[in-house]
Amino acid sequence: MAVLEYSLGLDLPEQFHDDPVMFELELAANDIICWTNDIYSFPTEYAQGDPQSLVFVDMYNEQTDLQSAVNHVEKLAYERIKQFIDVKSRLPSFGPKLDPQIGRYVQGLEYWIQGTVHWVFTSPRYFGTDTEKLRSTGVVNIAGPM
């Protein structure tokens, strides 16, 4: 999050960084990005034998199939998006001098989330040459463990 603050040219005080509501908002943004990345990157990680993914963890812990695990992780991410929106609505005022800066910072978190999703579906990193088809159908074919 420090990179976001730096890139926006902000100098937010410790009171902002120590605020529990702000901490929860940052944590929610991070969870959304990481959890959705675990879905998007599953085919590559599976092919490489890398089980460090929330999808793998869910399959193991719940003793479930791949589709059920992906659905569960997707549900968790959607719940976290709702929490992000709720937490954002509860941000306290830090005063007329800081509130505009904090607004830019929060908008930066939103752009980070949105930009990550956009990048996934425009970069060949996750889905190779199928990104256009994926954007139009929304269907990802994954061959995973049974």
Instruction: Provide DSSP, 87-119.
Output: HHHTPPP--TTTHHHHHHHHHHHHHHHHHHHHH
Q: Class of 2-8+15-137 per CATH?
A: mainly alpha
Angstrom distance (rounded) from CA 143 to CA 6: 41
Angstrom distance (rounded) from CA 141 to CA 47: 13
Q: For 97, what's the count of Cα atoms within 13 Å in the CB-facing half-sphere?
A: 4
What was the pLDDT predicted at 143?
A: 60
What was the pLDDT predicted at 146?
A: 42
Categorise residue 54: left if φ over 0, alpha if ψ from -120 to 50, beta otherwise.
alpha
CA dihedral angle for residue 13, residue 34, residue 63, residue 126, rounded to 10 degrees:
180
Per-residue pLDDT of the chain (146 residues; tens, 9 = 90+): 778 888 998 889 989 989 999 999 999 999 999 999 999 888 888 888 888 899 999 999 999 999 999 999 999 999 999 999 999 999 999 999 999 999 999 999 999 999 998 898 888 888 878 777 877 887 777 665 54
The domain ranges of the chain are 2-8+15-137
CB 28 within 8 A of CB 83: yes
What was the pLDDT predicted at 99?
A: 95
pTM, 2 dp:
0.87
